[in-house]
Structure 1
Amino acid sequence: MPPPTPSKLATIAVVVWVLVLTCGILFGAGLDRRIFILGIAVLQLLLIAGFVLLRRPPGMLVTAAAGILAAAGADLIVIYSDPFDPGDIIFVLAGAFGLAVVGQLFRGGGRQSLTVSVGVAVYLAVITAGFASYIALLRQPGGLQALLVAVIAMGTAVLAARAVDLTIPNPRINRQVPRGAFGVVIGGMVGTAAAAYAGVLLDGPTPAKAAVGGLVIGLVAVLGDLSAGFFHAGRRISGAGVAPWPVRHGLGPLMAFATAAPVTYLLSVYYLVRGF
């Protein structure tokens, strides 16, 4: 049977969580760089713990270790490499992949279990390392203004999508995922409008560039948030039960900001910060 629609209290709690994440990254970007890096590291650890508890893959410790290796390696490369080359992150992800393969081989299990475990570990490593993109963006000329526009876009997009679910939870985006289709669509539109307005207020990207960037970043963030619901649906369908309440409701926004981070960096460096 499909899961019930979340209570209004649960949805409101998620909206508040999205607001906390958005304001935390926005204000943290203007603080001392070491404080911002520490905050990003905390978000990475929360993402790893939440994802492992939500997905519960075979070999949970190996999966968590791969995520921690990817997070630490990506952060160190972003902080200490001069000049920074995004391609260096590939070596970190390769190391996380190797750790996942070796760890799962020693753990044992069937071929299907090995494939699932390695796939989940690699996915977690990619999105966890993606958080380091926020740190990398601050090292670029005009990066702070681009980061503010991007975070406003993804924050308002996810916030609007979750808020619309309060009043229009149906039709669902999927029978097994308790998220409304209207929220997903409206969230992307609101993120675009918020980014354009941020371009008017901030001394950075033009409103036209900010709107285009906000459209892409907002949609990626909304889909990243939505992916947590699909992961949880897969767990339920496989008979593994449901994840704890804070995990199944709070992981989506974390995945939204993690998934949109690399897109934010690439779009900002090659589009938003050019020519202003």
Structure 2
Amino acid sequence: MSRTISLAVAGFSVLLALGLIFGGQTAGPGAARVPFAIVVFGVQLLYVLAWTMAIRPPAMLVIGAIGLLAAAAADIGALLPTVASLAPVGYAAAGGFVVAILTQLVRPADRTRVTESLGATAQIVVGVVAFATLIVLSRLQLGGTQTIVVALAGTGSALMIARLTDAVLPWPRLAPQVPRGAAGVVLGAMGGTLTSAILGVYVVGFTPVTAAVVGLVAASAAVLTDLATSYAEASRQMAGDPPTMWVARYMQGPLGGFALAAPLSYALGVLLFN
């Protein structure tokens, strides 16, 4: 992986974090939450495009469309209820997964690949719906938007530091086929934790210790997910599959990292403030 690409991915990670953080700060009661939902849906759209093109499931266009419908349903379910709840988000994920599988069962060309498609479908549908948990988190009366700031700042910093480290020192290599180094993973998780801890001094409701815990969980999950996508791409190439479109390949990791950090941020926010 060239230094230019590593720098570009680092910048993309920062932009994702800033977009979601500032979007969360605009969230207010009632219709004032709609702008944040639009920001979240934009990220979900990027996720569906990148992951669908990267893993290429059977009936790729159909699965991508179902992923977007599940994302929209999850966002609406996160916005409309009078009391904020994850239940509609979970229903959207389950419904999207079931519809995706049934769609492939009725297509003769894809019926023989249903088993293969189960994992890919789950990654796309569940991953894209996970972003909607940020909308639910922003609706919590105590600590919701503050948790978004602390957790996603740590996530974005971790991914940025990991990629910048790979641009300068991709060592020690974790596998010959994967152009990533252990130093980036470790420094990324540490840097994300430190970023959150510093914010804990200034963000209401947090202390440096509680913010560091949130940052550690979110940052570690994000950098490991980012690394896992690099391994998955290397495995596909070793299996003889055609290479993924380069834009999707490099967007997949950061988007996957934020997709996992989102529900973890919700769980930590609930644990700390409710």
Structure 2 gap segments, 5+ residues each: 27-31
Please give the per-residue CA displacement for 1:7-48, whole angstroms capped at 9, x wherever unaligned: 111111111111211111222222253222111101101110
> Is 1:83 the counterpart of 2:80 in the alignment?
no
Deviation at 1:73, TM superposition (A): 1.6
Tell me, yes or no, if the aligned pair for 1:130 and 1:258 is still in contact at 8 Å. yes
Deviation at 1:111, TM superposition (A): 6.6
Tell me, yes or no, if the aligned pair for 1:63 and 1:117 is still in contact at 8 Å. no
Deviation at 1:112, TM superposition (A): 6.0
Amino acid aligned to 2:7: I
Q: For 1:8-19, what aligned pairs fall within 5 Å after superposition?
A: 8-19=3-14
TM-score, with length taken from structure 2: 0.92
CA distance in 2, matches of 1:224, 1:74: 22
Amino acid aligned to 1:24: G
Tell me, yes or no, if the aligned pair for 1:146 and 1:204 is still in contact at 8 Å. no
> Is 1:22 the counterpart of 2:17 in the alignment?
yes
Tell me, yes or no, if the aligned pair for 1:66 and 1:122 is still in contact at 8 Å. no
The equivalent residue for 1:179 is 180
> Is 1:96 the counterpart of 2:96 in the alignment?
yes
Please give the per-residue CA displacement for 1:107-161, whole angstroms capped at 9, x wherever unaligned: 2357762111122112211110011111111100221111101111111111111
Tell me, yes or no, if the aligned pair for 1:96 and 1:122 is still in contact at 8 Å. no
Tell me, yes or no, if the aligned pair for 1:104 and 1:118 is still in contact at 8 Å. no
CA distance in 2, matches of 1:160, 1:255: 16
Residues 174 and 70 from structure 1, CA distance in 2 versus in 1: closer, same or farther, beyond 3 angstroms? farther
Deviation at 1:84, TM superposition (A): 2.3
Tell me, yes or no, if the aligned pair for 1:63 and 1:120 is still in contact at 8 Å. no
CA distance in 2, matches of 1:92, 1:110: 23
Moved over 4 A (4+): 109-112
CA distance in 2, matches of 1:91, 1:132: 12
User: Secondary structure of the equivalent of 2:200?
Assistant: helix
Deviates more, 1:170-179 or 1:251-260: 170-179
Residues 98 and 224 from structure 1, CA distance in 2 versus in 1: closer, same or farther, beyond 3 angstroms? same
* Length, aligned pairs only: 268
Amino acid aligned to 1:198: L
CA distance in 2, matches of 1:190, 1:247: 26
CA distance in 2, matches of 1:119, 1:242: 19
Q: For 1:1-276, what aligned pairs fall within 5 Å after superposition?
A: 6-31=1-26, 32-109=32-109, 113-141=113-141, 142-271=143-272, 273=273
User: Secondary structure of the equivalent of 1:239?
Assistant: coil
Q: What is the CA RMSD across the aligned residues, in angstroms?
A: 1.6
Deviation at 1:172, TM superposition (A): 2.1
Deviates more, 1:187-196 or 1:59-68: 59-68
CA distance in 2, matches of 1:213, 1:105: 41
CA distance in 1, matches of 2:85, 2:203: 27
Deviation at 1:97, TM superposition (A): 1.8
Please give the per-residue CA displacement for 1:76-98, whole angstroms capped at 9, x wherever unaligned: 11000121222333322221121
Please give the per-residue CA displacement for 1:52-79, whole angstroms capped at 9, x wherever unaligned: 1111122212321331232112111100
Percent identity between the aligned chains? 38
Amino acid aligned to 2:71: A
Tell me, yes or no, if the aligned pair for 2:189 and 2:216 is still in contact at 8 Å. yes
Amino acid aligned to 2:269: S
Tell me, yes or no, if the aligned pair for 2:78 and 2:84 is still in contact at 8 Å. yes
User: Secondary structure of the equivalent of 2:113?
Assistant: helix
